[in-house]
Structures are given as structure tokens and as C-alpha cells.
Structure 1
């Protein structure tokens, strides 16, 4: 008998609900599964409930399968998504491997369709009003504004005029600091992706957990 903890596959609505409740999402790639597992555990201990592993290396699929097995056994409430997906084939492979959500740097109709067929949350990237709108028309569960450091918080704030109903997750240029988080959430971001700046000390998981605990507590003050 498998020792994996079974759970119901999250729907796109489940994923959005989790991201809105715990709006900090690590975005990370490393070719060594064991190192990423330690970071996953640290993020989980810090209160996070979603993690985006990026498809940026030849062995990413194999590593993702190991991470999926690890989270199912040890971190059953952690959503594990795959980022940097461009093709329908890649989306199929990672969904088969257990991806809870699929993130793209841009929006492609073929990946949107694969996610729709499998009822997996699709988070496409966009950096113009037209791209954001088209992503919603294709069924985006949440739109990833990327790169955030190029478009800036002003763009996210301006989106609330013509597209007030669209929820966005900003990735690229979001720093793991109170000042940066205040700026992006005040502009209207529903969630943010935190990249390599979050993992400057990957060999100190306790420090990472404490940092995330503190950042989450700060984000809660922004919403009260």
C-alpha cells in the first residue's frame, strides 16, 4: 500500500481561494530535488500554502515528480504548481505529474485549453491591458502580471479602472520586504510571486521560515 496521503484534486476555484488567503507564492528552480524539498518544508512551516516550481532545466519534469511525491506525503495542504510553461505538451506532462496549477510567462490558447480540459488552474502572464483581458476571456483563474519590475505598481493600479473584477498575481521585481509588499498590495495585487531574492540563504531553512512568518503577518495588517 502506498504511504502517500491521498487528497481531492484542487479545482481552479480552490487554487484561487488559497492564493487569496495566503498571497505569497515562492517561484523557484533548482536541479536538486532534495534542496527544493527543504525549501518547500521551510515555506510550509512559514505559513505558505502554494509554491511554483519553474520549468527551466532539462530535468525539471523528473524533479517535479519527486517534489509532488514529497508534498503529498509530508505537506498535503501545499499546492504545487509549475511555471515557465509554453506548450500544450509541457502542460500535459506536468499536469499528469500532479501540477495543481500551471503558470505561463505569456498566454497561449493551447495551454489554456489543456488546463480547461483537466480542470487545472491556469495563470497566464500578461503585461498590457489587452493581454490581461484576453487571458480572462481564455479562462484564466488568475492573471500573472509579468514582469512586475517593468510595468510597475502604477499599471496594476490602473487596471482596476477598466478591469476591476480581474485578480492579478504580480511576479518579477517583487522583493521580500515590507516596503515592496506594501507597494504592490496597495496597488491592487491579489497575490505576489517571490523569486530568487527570497532564497538568498537556502541552507538556513529556519531563517526562511521565520522571514515568511513575519512577511505573512505584515500582509495581514495591510488587509485590515
Structure 2
């Protein structure tokens, strides 16, 4: 069962402004990455359903997080069908993220009042997702569908939309400023933050520092 309601997850996303996105088959690596991000200030983290037995790795990660990181909302991404969403909800996922819009996933999540964030690439898809109950809509692939200018254009006629671009977001001030000036709710960040080099070197101290710096940059941008 989810620890946090969909409204609580939505607020955590807004408060921190960034959701790291990560997958690795080794639970110990995942725990180290999660520890570094949490210590750096992250309070919402997306593990992705990318490999064999990913649900088993997620279950181990969630059990650790519930004890070690009480303020963390831990969700699952890359969910493409309702049965898989149900599997992760049973494993305690606090939110479900999809790369596309599937109504059966929405119905599954809504029955359990779990936040569902589908990937959308047009205003029509975003509007349909909101009609189906999505509190936060994932813009994906964010750079390819138009980047910050796309978000800005959507927010013009639909200022109530809460958008989370993923794909093409970087932990650089110039890049983050462009997204937040456009009006995003938060950003999703994967390999630009948690790089292959960091994982290969097991340089979790650097990851913690990069996370803290990125979150600090977001706070400064929002204050201006």
C-alpha cells in the first residue's frame, strides 16, 4: 500500500522541484544512489521498470526506504499496462509514471488513489490525462516535443496544468531556468544527474553534491 496519497506526492514534487529517475539491477547500487539523492535533498524518487525482476529490486528498495528515508515518496516509472501498474501498487509504490497515455492504467491507479503521471506530447493528450484524473502530467520526451517553449505554450491557455518534463533536463542553471521560467511543476532527471560514469566509479559523494546543487539552483530560480 502506498505510504503517501496522490496529493501528498504532488506537493512533494512541487516542494523539491526535481524527481531523479534511475534503474539498476543491483539493489545495493540502487540503495546507494537513493541514499545520495535523499541526503542531497530529494523527497520524490522514480525507479524505472526497465529490466528482468525489476519488481523484486523495487520491493527491496522500498522496504529499505520505508525505514531509512521516512520522508521519501518512492514510485515506479516506465509502466505501460495496467497489470504491471497493479503489481507495483501491490508492492507499495507511492506513484506510477508511464511513458504514454493508457486509460486502463489510469483506472487501476484511481481505484487505489495512487498518483498516476502519464507521458504526453500534445495539449490534447495532456487535457485527456487531466480528464482521467492525472494531477501531474509527464511531458515526454520533453526535449523532442518542443522543450521549454512547448511547456510555455501549453501553460498559456491551460495555466492550471501541472507539468513534469522528462528527457532533456540537465542540472545546469541555464537549462533549469528555462524549464522553470516556462512554468513546470517539477522536472524529471535521469542520466544527466545519475550518469554512467558516477555509477561505474561508485562516486556517490559526487552524486549527493550534484543533487544538492541542482535543488539549490531550483530554489534560487523560483525565488527570482
TM over 0.5: yes
Contact 2:2/2:114 (8 A) holds in 1? no
Give the alignment of 1:25-44 within 5 angstroms: 25-44=19-38
When normalised by structure 2's length, the TM-score is 0.95
**Gaps in structure 2 of 5+ consecutive residues:** none
What secondary structure is seen at the aligned counterpart in 1 of 2:143?
Answer: helix
Runs of 4+ in 1 over 3 A off after TM superposition: none
Give the alignment of 1:110-149 within 5 angstroms: 110-149=104-143
Aligned counterpart in structure 2 of residue 78 of structure 1, from 68, 72, 76: 72
Contact 2:155/2:183 (8 A) holds in 1? yes
Give the alignment of 1:24-103 within 5 angstroms: 24-103=18-97
Matched, 1:197 2:192: yes
Q: CA RMSD in A?
A: 1.2
TM-aligned CA deviation for residue 9 of structure 1: 2.3
TM-aligned CA deviation for residue 42 of structure 1: 0.2
- Corresponding residue number in structure 2 for 1:178: 173
Q: How many residues align?
A: 218
When normalised by structure 1's length, the TM-score is 0.95
What secondary structure is seen at the aligned counterpart in 2 of 1:147?
Answer: coil
Counterparts of 2:79 and 2:22, CA distance in 1? 14
Counterparts of 1:166 and 1:54, CA distance in 2? 24
Matched, 1:9 2:3: yes
**Gaps in structure 1 of 5+ consecutive residues:** 1-6
What secondary structure is seen at the aligned counterpart in 2 of 1:82?
Answer: strand
- Corresponding residue number in structure 1 for 2:183: 188
What secondary structure is seen at the aligned counterpart in 2 of 1:149?
Answer: coil
Matched, 1:210 2:205: no
- Corresponding residue number in structure 2 for 1:3: none
Counterparts of 2:174 and 2:207, CA distance in 1? 18
Contact 2:79/2:96 (8 A) holds in 1? yes
What secondary structure is seen at the aligned counterpart in 2 of 1:80?
Answer: strand
